Homo-oligomer: A and B are copies of this chain.
Amino acid sequence: MRRNYDLDSVLDVAAAEFNRRGYDGTSMGDLAHALGISKSSIYHHVSSKEALLGLALDRALTALFAVLEETGSRHGRARDRLEHVLRRSVEVLDAELPFVTLLLRVRGNTHTERDALERRREFDRRVTGLVTRAIEEGDLRADLDPALVTRLLFGTVNSLVEWYRPDLGAGDEVADTLIAVMLGGLERP
C-alpha cells in the first residue's frame, strides 16, 4: 500500500510540474525538489522521466477509455450513448484535471507521447463511430461530417482545461450546458 501511495504522490507532482514548466523543461532534480525527496527515491518507483510521463498520460487515457466500457456507453440508442460519453468525459476532466491537461498538451516528441496521441485518435474514432450510428438511427442530423462533429465536440470538452477549476464545484452545470448546446443547440425550439 505504502509504495502505491508514494507512486501516486510522485505522479501528482510530476503532472503539476510538467504542466507548469513543460515536460522538456522539467528535470528529475526539479521533481525531487518539488517532492522534498531525493532523486534516488524517485528512481525507486520509476526508471526514467519518460516512464513517469507514460504513467501520468496512462492515468488520463485509462479513465477516458473506461468511460467507453460503461453500460451507458454500450447499451441503448447511439444518441444517448454519445450524451453519456460527453457527460462522463467532462467528469473525468474534473476528477483528473492535471493528467488530462498534460494529455492535451502532448505534441509527439517522444515514443511515449506518440503512443498517447495514437490512443487519443483511437478514442476519437470510437466517438466518431457513435456519431455515425446516431445519424443512421435517425436521431442526429445527417448533413454534417461525423469526424468533424467529433472534433468540435471534443474541442469543446477539451477547451474546459483552459479555464475550468474543480474547486468552483460547477461541474454538473458545465456538463449540462455543454450537452444542451451541442446536442439541442442554443436556438429556442
Contacts and interface: CB of A to CB of B under 8 A. Distances in A.
A70 interface: no
Interface string A136-150: 001111111100110
A177 B152 contact: yes
A145 to B, nearest CB: 7
A188 B140 contact: yes
A168 to B, nearest CB: 11
Contact of A187 (B22, B139, B186, B188): B139
Given A22-B22, A149-B177, A149-B181, A187 B141 contact: yes
Nearest to A155: B159
B185 A187 contact: yes
Contacts of A140: 186-188
Interface in A147-189: 148-149, 151-156, 158-160, 162-163, 173-174, 177-178, 180-188
A138 B178 contact: no
A141 B180 CA distance: 10
A25 B25 CA distance: 10
A79 interface: yes
